[in-house]
Amino acid sequence: MYLLLRKLLFALEAERAHRLTLALLEAGARFGVVRAPRRPPPLVTALAGLELPNPVGLAAGLDKDGRHIDALARLGFGFIEIGTTTPRAQAGNPRPRMFRLPEHSAIINRLGFNNAGVNALIANVERSRWRGVLGINIGKNRDTPNERAVQDYLYCLERVFPLASYITVNISSPNTQGLRDLQQESHLRRFIEILRERQEQLASQHRLTVPMLVKIAPDLDEGAMDGIAR
């Protein structure tokens, strides 16, 4: 079945194939074709104060707006992370922006935080029935200068806080110009201080403990990672 579907999907442009796959998954779940797998042996994993039923989760980026949470949950993930979401809807980078590398079983993604905005994501989360561990990944709009970036993150943090099991602050994407500059130690210290202060206020207001994670670039050298850790 996979080989047949692969030929069909590879006949389509990569981003269109991505949307079609999610639509088929949604339809399959709705009509009972996609069912939850048999319960595996217990692999409970503790992370950041959370208890995950198993350590295999779905990363952000596949379901940016949280449209398919219930369908994806049927695949047996221990947690699901949606996003990246931004305060306002944005189209992302010009197309084409996804490129297949079949010889490496890989894909290049240059989407650029295309999403329907944080309010649309919230509406989708509120409609979903899944009550597992849900991470929400937040970012800034591409036209927000870095000097005001923290305001975008604060806005998203405040909006998603009551709905998230954990929140990921995304400062790693190479597809939003200047975003990775926020990883510099001189900028990051104050940036994180502001977010942590608001996180604690929200925890008191909602009487919820919601861990906050920071997503950094995978290609940093040891010096840069040491600076971020400090």
Q: Whole-model pTM? A: 0.94
Domain boundaries, given as residue ranges, for the chain: 2-229
What is the per-residue pLDDT for 174? 84
CA atoms of 114 and 21, how far apart (whole Å): 18
Q: Can 173 be counted among the known catalytic residues?
A: yes
CA atoms of 62 and 71, how far apart (whole Å): 13
CA atoms of 85 and 67, how far apart (whole Å): 12
What is the per-residue pLDDT for 148? 96
What is the per-residue pLDDT for 4? 87
What is the per-residue pLDDT for 40? 67
Which bin fits 26, alpha (ψ -120 to 50), beta or left (φ > 0)?
alpha
CA angle, 121 as apex, 45 and 182 as ends, to 5°? 75
Q: Which helix (H) or strand (E) holds 4?
A: helix 2-10
Q: Establish whether the linkage from the previous residue to 21 is cis, with ω within 30° of 0.
A: no
What is the per-residue pLDDT for 9? 93
3-state secondary structure of 11: coil
pLDDT-derived band at 179, boundaries 50, 70, 90: confident
Question: Which of the listed CATH numbers 3.30.540.10, 3.20.20.70, 3.90.1300.10, 3.90.180.10 matches domain 2-229?
Answer: 3.20.20.70
Mean pLDDT score, 169-176: 89
Mean pLDDT score, 210-216: 96
Catalytic residue among 105, 173, 186, 204: 173
User: pLDDT, tens digit, for every residue of 30-69?
Assistant: 888 887 777 767 799 999 999 999 999 999 999 999 999 9
- Please give the distance of CA 123 from its chain centroid, rounded to a whole number: 16
